[in-house]
A and B are shown apart, each in its own frame.
Chain A
Amino acid sequence: MIRTEGLVRQFGDVVALDHTNIEIKKDQVTVILGGSGSGKTTLLRMLSALDAPTHGSVWFGDEDLAQLSSKRLYELRGKMGMVFQYSALLNSLNVYDNVAFPLHEHSDLDESVIQTMVQMKLEQVGMRGFEQLMPSELSGGMAKRVAFARAMIADPDVVFFDEPTSGLDPISAGIVTTLIHDITKKTHMTSVVVTHDVHAALEIADHVILLWQGKVIAEGQADAIAQSEDPRVVQFIQGRPDGPIPFSRSKTPYHEDLLRVRL
């Protein structure tokens, strides 16, 4: 459904993605795992065309996202939804208007139909009854659920999730994770989840992609990843501080930097 070819994204001298090739399969939950700074969110922004690659391409079906006109890109975005790390609900609108926003913008549906659709989506994420609350009155978990309802309101083909469980307590994280899994399966939607939450990832993923320093170092089914003997995968999954993935990110040796300090 979506695939990348030789994707490179540089920010100045920093290479966030280094010739990354991945494929997102239809109707599956694909989880992109990786530590902080591994390029997960950058990759998600490329997949959703929120950012353009330095080199390489992202294909949505048979269309190269970087080559699309803005009109065509906006048409394609009608098939996409996104749940941002900090929910990104529109501050000036209440829960109902946030969820209904895509329909108000892009459809001529009668308000009563929109109301029904919003009720259905809010019920799916357990937020029915909170329509009149403003985003500032919601907890992190509630805001994530409302953002999820908003992402699903137009029945997209694919929904992107950026760190859906970060900053949530274990129960809220569990609820959000279960929702992603259940709704994906029930609605035949494709989900792309970026996270560093190994437990949640292995629980819901059909396909796991592990990134390190902008490169794919492992991918496959959740079970295969969990049983991988690749020391980098083992270190990441078991959360060990020592291993091939270094603790320090400095490019120069520590003693050299210390010797350079002028006393």
Chain B
Amino acid sequence: MIVNLFGRIGRSTLQMIAKLGDVTLLSSRSLAFAGKSPWQGEHYVRQIYALGVGSFVIIAITGAFTGMVLALQGYYTLAKFGSESLLGSAVALSIIRELGPVLGALMLIGRAGSSITAEIGIMRVTGQLDALEMMAVNPLARIVLPRIMATLIALPLLVTLFDLIGLAAGYVVGVDLLGVNAGAYVGETVAKVLPEDLYAGWVKAIAFGFIVGVICTYMGYRAEPTTEGVAKATTQAVVAGSISVLAVDYILTSFFL
């Protein structure tokens, strides 16, 4: 019984290590095409456009509600200490340093990451990846790389949008609905949010964009070539992507404190 348990743990660990190695190899082989001819710039732009425009509405809505909820909750907590004037900086720092990158990444995984996995998986099932190979077009360069680059570039832009909308929504709730002094709200925000806070948020967004791109493309590329396999890969991409984002977020947060 105990031997079986250890055996199972050992097998799972080995499988996980093998998978990690495979992810690293596949993504590094894809990224190796970044500087090589033929230049895939047109495909980067197309993917960035699809990701950015496609995720714009959901990111805006999430940003707005996050800012509004933060203002409400923050006001409730700060009022207990008579520090309502700090609301602006509390909302801004929470959004810029933490919630913008993390929620933005989670929304991107749900909205675009899952569709990247499904799209590549379906290309595998229907033989389109093999067809590209037969036409002497490397699928890693043509399909995988532009999608990794797109998430890498689009997420920081989407996070910036999330931050701006979140801050505006927080201001509306804090100042217009809860009656916090507008001068104090804005003054505290400007005084407390430092360039390194913005920097930390963007570094996280870039890191998460890379992680989302690598995991979602990998899951699609290695999907079992069946309809069930694609469905499973899509679920795995969302789960693995979300957990990875949260785990890396902890590491980066501890680094930037």
A interface residue numbers (CB < 8 A to B)? 48, 50, 70, 74-75, 77-78, 80-82, 84-91, 101-102, 105-106, 150
Closest Cβ of chain A: how far from B159's Cβ, in Å?
A: 28
B257 in contact (CB, < 8 A):
no
A50-B130 in contact (CB<8A): yes
Q: Chain B interface (Cβ within 8 Å of chain A)?
A: 38, 122-123, 126-128, 130-138
Q: Are B136 and A84 in contact (CB under 8 A)?
A: no
A-B CB contact pairs (8 Å), 25 listed = A48-B134, A50-B130, A50-B133, A50-B134, A70-B138, A74-B136, A74-B138, A77-B134, A78-B136, A82-B131, A82-B134, A87-B127, A88-B126, A88-B127, A88-B128, A88-B130, A89-B131, A91-B122, A91-B123, A91-B128, A101-B135, A105-B38, A105-B137, A106-B136, A150-B135
Interface of chain A: mostly helix, strand, loop or mixed: mixed
Q: Which residues from chain A contact B38 at a C-beta distance below 8 Å?
A: 105
Nearest CB on A from B115, distance (A): 13
The chain B residue with its CB closest to the CB of A77 is B136
B54 to nearest A CB, angstroms? 15
In the bound complex, CA of A258 to CA of B147 (Å): 52
Contacts of B137 in A (CB 8 A): 105
A80–B126 touching, CB < 8 Å: no
Known contacts A87-B127, A150-B135; can you find 12 more A-B pairs with CB under 8 A? A75-B136, A77-B134, A82-B130, A82-B131, A85-B127, A86-B126, A88-B127, A88-B130, A89-B131, A90-B131, A102-B135, A105-B136
A147 CB to closest chain B CB (Å) equals 8
Q: Could you tell me the distance between the alpha carbons of A200 and B161 in the complex, rounded to whole angstroms?
A: 60
CB closest residue in chain B, given A147: B131
9 nearest A-B residue pairs (beta carbon) = A88-B127, A88-B131, A74-B136, A77-B136, A82-B134, A84-B127, A102-B135, A88-B128, A105-B137
Give every chain B residue within 8 A of A86 (Cβ-Cβ): 126-127
Instruction: Please pick, from A48, A75, A91, the residue contacting B126 in the complex, using a CB distance under 8 A.
Output: A91
Residues of chain A within 8 A (CB-CB) of B132 are 90
A105 and B135 contacting across the interface, CB-CB below 8 Å? yes
Q: Which residues of A contact B135 (CB under 8 A)?
A: 77, 101-102, 105, 150
**Cα–Cα, bound, A113→B127 (Å):** 29
Q: A77 CA to B138 CA in the complex, in Å?
A: 12
Report yes or no: B136 in contact with A81, Cβ–Cβ below 8 A. no
Report A107 CB to chain B, min CB distance, Å. 12
- Considering the complex, give the chain B residue whose CB is closest to the CB of A50: B130
* Docked complex Cα distance between A74 and B137 (Å): 8
Q: How far is the CB of A51 from chain B (nearest CB, A)?
A: 10
A189 vs chain B, min Cβ distance (A):
15
B146 to chain A, nearest CB (A): 13
What separation, in Å, do the CA atoms of A91 and B134 have in the docked complex?
16
Q: A74-B136, A102-B135 known; A90 and B128 CB under 8 Å?
A: yes
Residues of B within 8 A of A106 (CB): 136
Distance A48 CA – B135 CA, assembled complex (angstroms): 11
- B128 partner residues in chain A, CB cutoff 8 A: 88-91
Q: Which residues of A contact B126 (CB under 8 A)?
A: 86, 88, 91
Chain B residues with CB under 8 Å of A80's CB are 134
